[in-house]
Each structure stands twice: as C-alpha cells, then as structure tokens.
Amino acid sequence: DQQVKQNSPSLSVQEGRISILNCDYTNSMFDYFLWYKKYPAEGPTFLISISSIKDKNEDGRFTVFLNKSAKHLSLHIVPSQPGDSAVYFCATNTGNQFYFGTGTSLTVIP
Amino acid sequence: KAGVTQTPRYLIKTRGQQVTLSCSPISGHRSVSWYQQTPGQGLQFLFEYFSETQRNKGNFPGRFSGRQFSNSRSEMNVSTLELGDSALYLCASSLVAHGGDTQYFGPGTRLTVL
C-alpha cells in the first residue's frame, strides 16, 4: 500500500510563477516529512523537511506546508526557475523505514 | 564530509548473470537503504540495513539480497538477472533512520540487462 501519495504525475509552470506540488499521506502518526528533488540519472537530493510540530517551514524559495487534519503537505516554489525542472518526491519516515511518493515531474517553462 | 558513493556507476549484464553493487555511506551513518527506480516508477524500497542487520525488507523476490559490513558499507546482490531488473539502483544513508532523520542518496548505479 502506498503510504505517501502524489496524485499529480506532472506539472508545468511558467518561469517566475509559483509551483505547488502536493502530497497526501495515510497515517496520522507520521510526524516528519521530507521533499527530495531528482534530476535524470542522478540520486535524489534532499530539499526541505518539516516536523509535525510545525505547519510551515521555509528555506529560500522553497516552503513546505503541513495540514495535519487533512493529512496533506505541499511544496511551494516561488519564483519558479527553469533549473527547478526535475522530479519531486515527498517522503516520510516511521520506524526504520522511509516511504516515498511516486513523484511529480515539474517543468518550468522559460 | 564526503557524500554517499556507489560503484560502479554503470553496468551491463546479460540475463542469467549475477551482479553486485556497492555503497559507501556518509561517515557516521549506520543505516543504509537500497531502492530500485524504473522509468515511470517511484522509488521502490528493497531493504534497509543497520549495524550489519537487515531491519526492513521490501516486496522483492529472493534474488535480491544485501549485506552490510562493520564499517557500514553495504553491498546489494542480484542473482539470475532478468530483463526487468534493468533500473537505476539507489543507495541512501542516514544516521539511524528513526524519527526526524534525513536520508541522503548516492548517484545510483544504472544496471542494464540484455
């Protein structure tokens, strides 16, 4: 069963606009979430994380929002740049295992 | 600190052969996980090792196995290769893989089975 779900396989955004990537999770006991960015033929790179004690965490152009009641998190990229074009994975860890979503492919159009 | 390293970066094998992939985690990290990524798929979890013990295993056949050494380096072995095993194999390390831990990935090994 997919513990973490990314229902949008792809997203296209104009350069300079906001990109919003969404992720849903199944277990309300999950308390730590991460976003990774992946370019083709490379390993994923850690981007930003959030603990369940917060509802927002910001790092430069990247902000992650957590809505615990809805079991939903989102990654906002503002402003979007062509170099942000990549596959984005959300993830959580519980016990000794990390769970990853299936990824959203973001294309930022110049 | 050096990042996670994986060797080799590329491999070409034929059906029926076996292959061993190697992963060196970030210094001080004791948890090593392996993932398979195929086109259009997310990261499929293979297994996780901590202090030389396999703690978790994904839903892969027994042809996929691994081990971890006392220095936390890990190897993954695939026997009797099939065409469908062609994929990017990713290794990731973390301190302990609990709670608020973060996992860091290597560049991957691209395996092609002909």
Q: How far apart are CA B23 and CA B18, in angstroms?
A: 17
The CA-CA-CA angle for residues B71, B75, B81, to 5°, reads 175
pLDDT at B99 > cutoff 70: no
Is the pLDDT assigned to residue B40 strictly greater than 80? Answer: no
Q: Give dist(CA A91, CA A37) in Å, integer.
A: 11
pLDDT tens, residue by residue, A42-91: 899 999 999 999 999 999 999 999 999 999 999 999 999 999 999 999 99
Alpha-carbon dihedral A5, B103, A43, B43, rounded to 10 degrees: -30
CB atoms within 10 A of CB A76: 16
Closest CA of chain B from A18, distance in Å: 24
Q: What is the mean pLDDT of chain A?
A: 93
Between CA B58 and CA B44 the distance in angstroms is 8
Confidence of residue A40 (pLDDT cuts 50, 70, 90): confident
CA distance B106 to chain A (A): 5
Taking the mean position of all CA atoms in its chain, how far away is CA A66? 11
**Cis link prior to B25 (omega < 30° from 0)?**
no
How far apart CA A14 and CA A36 sit, in angstroms, is 21
Whether the pLDDT of residue B97 is over 70: the answer is: no
Using a CB-CB cut-off of 8 Å, the residues of chain A touching B107 are 42-43
Which positions in chain A touch B103 (Cβ < 8 Å)? Answer: 34, 46, 91, 93, 98
Q: Give chain B's mean pLDDT.
A: 92
